[in-house]
Every structure is written in C-alpha cells, then in structure tokens.
Amino acid sequence: MEVVEVEVVVEEMEEMEEMEEVEEVTVARVCWVLHQGVWLMHLIIIGLVVMGCSKTDYDLKTTEKISWQSELNYVKTVRSVDQLLLRVTCQYIGKKPENPNSYLSSHNYTVIDTSFYKITFENLSQSDLVIESVRYHMKYGNIKGTSYYGSNAIRRSWGTNIIKSGASITRSNNMVWSSKTSNTLFKVYSLRLKNSKNLQGNQRSNSFKVEVPLRYRRYHR
C-alpha cells in the first residue's frame, strides 16, 4: 500500500511539473504578445506624429474669391479667418510680350501661338509675404519641361520673392501655349507669412497656397 501511495505522489509531482512548464510557456507568450503590442502602439503614435507634422505645411485655413472681368482677366482675393492676405490681378496682354525689347526667353512666340499675361500680387496682410515655390499643371495634357520652381527661380523671374505688407509686385510676360485650341495653365504658388506666428509659435502654420489660372485661347487676339 505504501508503494502505491509513493507512486501516486510521484505521478502527482510529475503532473505539477508539467503544469508549471505550461504556465511558464503561457506567461512567456503573454509577455511576447504584450511586447509586440507596445511596439505596435509606438509605431501608431509615430505615424500620427508624422502625419500631423506634414499636415502643418499648409494648414492656414484660407478661402479664395475670384471675380472674372472678362474671359481672360480676373481679380482673386485670398483671406484667412481673421484677415485678408493677398490680391491677385491677372491681366491679358495679347499674343506678344508687353515689352518685346526686354523679352529674354528662348520661346519663339512668333512661331508658336502664345498668350501673354501680367500678374500682380498685392500683400493685404499685416506681415511680409514670402513666395516659396510655384508648381505648374495643365487642364489638358502634361507640362513639357520643368513644372516646379523654388524661391531662387522666383527671385530671378520676379526680381524678389518677398512682398512687404501693403506692397505689390508685378511680373509681365507670363506665357501659356498649347497644342489644343483651348487650355488652361494653373500656377499654384506656395506662400508664407514671414513675421507672424500662431499661439503655439509654429511658423509653418502660416503657409498657404493660391492657384493662378492662365487661359489659353488660340482664337483670342
């Protein structure tokens, strides 16, 4: 009888050891799952931070109002919630430059039908405006050549990329041409309020974009 009891005790001890091993494996698995969950949460948080940072590039809320004075001429105003920011005046010049003697481009407008425009940017805000870049795209078809220009190129073509508060800058000889009889070139300018900060002191949150359309009409003289 005693031998049987000893055997029973031994069997019970073996079962307890097996249970302890199972518990150790289970605890290890739970720890691994929790560890992976922590890393997943870290990745999610990092992703949200990156998305939040990229969103602040142009997070100044603006509205645009465009008033067409004719088929090709217009005035556009841009404002934020609390102030006017910019007035864009687009004036059609014709099928040749306003000042042919100062025309420096290699584009041959005497051979290729081309529409010329004068664009004026007037700073209506209380801060200086910085034109940081411009990107082009066509309504129909693709841009041939460069479709993006940074601040250096803007300074060369406009003479400056900074518009003082209350001041304006003008550029003639803005050109658009197309293989189609009717098309539109869109110039999307990125601007920034230079000396203005939000409540968090974030300079980038004062950036915004404005779209400047230039219509091409082959029949229009």
| Alpha helical stretches, state H, the chain | 2-55, 151-158
| Percent of the chain whose predicted confidence (pLDDT) is above 70 | 69
Q: Which of 57 and 9 is assigned the larger pLDDT?
A: 57
Per-residue model confidence (pLDDT) at position 219: 84
Q: Give 127 or 32, the one with higher predicted confidence.
A: 127
pLDDT at 36: 65
Looking at the domain 60-217, which fold is it? Immunoglobulin-like (2.60.40)
Question: Is 187:153 a contact under the CB 8 Å cutoff?
Answer: no
Q: pLDDT averaged over the chain?
A: 81
Smallest Cα–Cα separation from 88: which of 96, 99, 79?
A: 79
| The pLDDT of residue 40 | 61
Cα–Cα distance measured from residue 183 to residue 181, given in angstroms and rounded to the nearest whole number: 7
Of 109 and 45, which is predicted with more confidence?
109
For residue 14, the model assigns a pLDDT of 45
Q: Residue range 199-206: average pLDDT? A: 56
Measured CA to CA, the distance from residue 173 to residue 102 in angstroms comes to 10
